[in-house]
Amino acid sequence: MSGLAVQESIVQNYIQQWHKIGLNVSLTGGRLMEFNYVYDKLDHDDKNIDMFRAAWSLLTEPSPRGMYRDVQ
């Protein structure tokens, strides 16, 4: 199962659980969106997005090295 397929399964489970407690939740556009595309929509106050879920994580050995690059 690819990363996207795993994420789709997780999101569909969230939606199913929210429906069970009476929340009418759906994906904007009916599918997952690419990370930068979502933040662009949020920056422009897209009225079709009422809420969003996002996260980031560290590698197994945390280091700030990946956040920086040598620019020459």
Could you report the per-residue pLDDT of 3-60, keeping only the tens digit for each? 678 889 999 999 999 999 999 999 998 999 988 999 999 999 999 999 888 877 766 7
Task: Please return the burial class of 28, using the count of CB atoms within 10 Å of its CB with bins 0-12, 13-18 and 19+.
Answer: middle
Q: Quick check: pTM over 0.85?
A: no
| Residue ranges covered by each domain of the chain | 3-50
User: What is the pLDDT, as a whole number, of residue 3?
Assistant: 67
Q: Where are the alpha helices (DSSP H) in 1-72?
A: 3-20, 35-43
Give the pLDDT band of residue 68 (cuts 50, 70, 90). Answer: confident
User: What is the pLDDT, as a whole number, of residue 21?
Assistant: 98
